[in-house]
Structure 1
Amino acid sequence: MPSKVMTLSRAISSHVCHDDAVVLGACLEACIPFAAAHELIRQQFRGLNLIAPISDMSTDMLIGAGCVGQVTGAWVGNVSGGLGHNYRRSVEQGVPHQVKVHDHSNFSLGMALTAGAYGIPFIPVRSLLGSDLLRSNSTFQVQEDEESATSYVRVPSLNPDVALLSVQRSDEEGNCHFWGNLGVLQEAALASKKIILITEELVDREVIESDPNRVPFPGFLVKAVCHVPAAVHPSPMTGFYKRDNDFFNQYHQQSRNREGFLEWLDDWVLNPANHEQYLDKLGTSRKDLKIKGILLSEPVNYASD
């Protein structure tokens, strides 16, 4: 098969459109492809529907940059600081414009993606019963099961246009390995119409074939493979990087007002023309975040004879 390797800039310009529904990271607090969020801002996308259970500050910065029309998620903010300031300004004040919010719990969002992956229109969920989410999300419908005389909530399926997903390693065809907290990575990949894969390491196919159980989804779903080391900064990646709490806290403080956020955006997203310049600006702090310890799993034997 031909190589799918391309630059992140080209992948996003080729496979993302205005108004698309986009999964931006799916592993909760880990492995959020911030480099892709920055590229969406640089290319001035508009009207995106961002889908994520917990996006940390990636969704918040995209809202502040004017890229977002809708948010489908459980929480938008900064795990190191609290609720996202741009998100709050948008919902409460319409700054820079009003975003429409499709409220979910972490679980219901995972179930919506599961339904999308299975190709079914909805999935029954009981955990939403009695919650305020039934008032804030009109797509949730309570149904009665006559046989069991119990109720459940119909959660409509989600089928994103594009999933932007970070993994530890991939080959040129999009066959990849992921380990650590999966979150809803598999569900998001299988539910989405196409995947842009952002990999820390680019390896030979034989490396992936050596451990098939670490492959989260088939490579034929992947449209582009982007080799972008440290694309997840400031979020953590199992085996590679720790969380950069200082960076998160700096963003949270500076984005408290609109002027401070725009200054931060210029300094960290717009003036670095690409991810390489972003890493140059980070300097030695990036090296300090690299995981130095070694904690290996036990080897397994795949032999059949």
Structure 2
Amino acid sequence: MATISALADAVDALVHDGAEIALEGLGASAPEAAAHAILRRRPRDLTLVGTVPGPAGDQLVGAGCVKRLVFARLGPGLHRIREALVACWPTPLEIEEHTQAGMAARYVAGASGLPFAIVRGGYTGTDLAEVTRTGVVRCPFTGEELTALPALHPDLAVVHARRADRAGNVQLGGPPGLRKEAVLAARNALVTVEEVVDELGSEPGAVVLPAFAVTRIAVVPTAGPDAAADAVEAAWAPVSADRARFTSWLEGIRA
């Protein structure tokens, strides 16, 4: 059963140097507060997994916490990731790039206990093989050649959700992204929520994660609508673009 605790306590218990950590969530569902809590702990040599890393991923890379980035798409304004790739500041950054469908398939394979995922398109005929690991398998029924990708089984998945009940079940809500798949694939899961309630109500399209799939829950009542998340991303770009300004911002986060 999931344990409800303070965010700092959850991060101390679950985050360690060299861990593979998946941050998943789109818009207001991005786990920004958890990413800041991880920043305060200053882990080193992380492998950061995120379909669309966003400001949270950019901040962790800029702080020198990340050795390797596994992703499908980089949004605009992520200058800390760019500088790590181009200028190796503050540390060199390795990358492994996939399609979004490939990332989804890799999580599902990890959640299913399989060693690899299979996809039909998106890799063949591209240069993705130069920056990622792929293989070729032949379908035993049709003879078709398909692309094989290693399963994702992160040490920790970090996601944000709207609410949890006191038994530890989590109701995601909003654009699902790959939050469910990341949690089910990971060895441990940390979920920040806006509130803890006695009973989860019905919400059209909402996904419920069972308590057995979640390790820690922390209440962080700060998420807003998607428009507010867009504003956060727009505000982050000028901070990310200036190394001195970013360094000052980082010192503020540490305090």
- The 5-angstrom pairing of residues 1-305 of structure 1 reads 4-24=3-23, 26-77=24-75, 82-127=76-121, 128-137=123-132, 139-145=133-139, 147-204=141-198, 207-208=199-200, 214-230=206-222, 232=223, 237=225, 242-267=227-252, 269-271=253-255
Instruction: From the superposition, tell whether residues 173 and 146 of structure 1 become closer, same or farther in structure 2 (CA, over 3 Å).
Output: closer
Kindly state the Cα deviation for residue 247 of structure 1 after the two structures are TM-superposed.
3.4
Instruction: From the superposition, tell whether residues 155 and 147 of structure 1 become closer, same or farther in structure 2 (CA, over 3 Å).
Output: same
Alpha-carbon separation, structure 1, partners of 2:34 and 2:92:
23
Alpha-carbon separation, structure 2, partners of 1:184 and 1:146:
29
Structure number with larger C-alpha Rg: 1
- Give CA-to-partner distance per residue, 1:195-251, whole Å, 9 cap, x none: 1111111101xx227679844321112221101101x4xxx55xxx63344432232
Alpha-carbon separation, structure 2, partners of 1:172 and 1:49:
32
**SS at structure 2 position matched to 1:164:** strand
Kindly state the Cα deviation for residue 143 of structure 1 after the two structures are TM-superposed.
3.1
Give the alignment's Cα RMSD to 1 decimal.
Answer: 2.2
Instruction: From the superposition, tell whether residues 57 and 144 of structure 1 become closer, same or farther in structure 2 (CA, over 3 Å).
Output: same
The letter of the residue matching 1:52 is G
**SS at structure 2 position matched to 1:255:** helix
Does the 8 Å contact 1:173/1:220 carry over to 2? no
> Can you give the 5+ residue segments of structure 1 that lack an aligned partner in the other structure?
272-305
Alpha-carbon separation, structure 1, partners of 2:202 and 2:77:
42
Number of paired residues? 254
Does the 8 Å contact 1:41/1:62 carry over to 2? yes
**SS at structure 2 position matched to 1:208:** coil
**SS at structure 2 position matched to 1:120:** coil
Kindly state the Cα deviation for residue 123 of structure 1 after the two structures are TM-superposed.
1.4
Q: 1:295 corresponds to which residue?
A: none
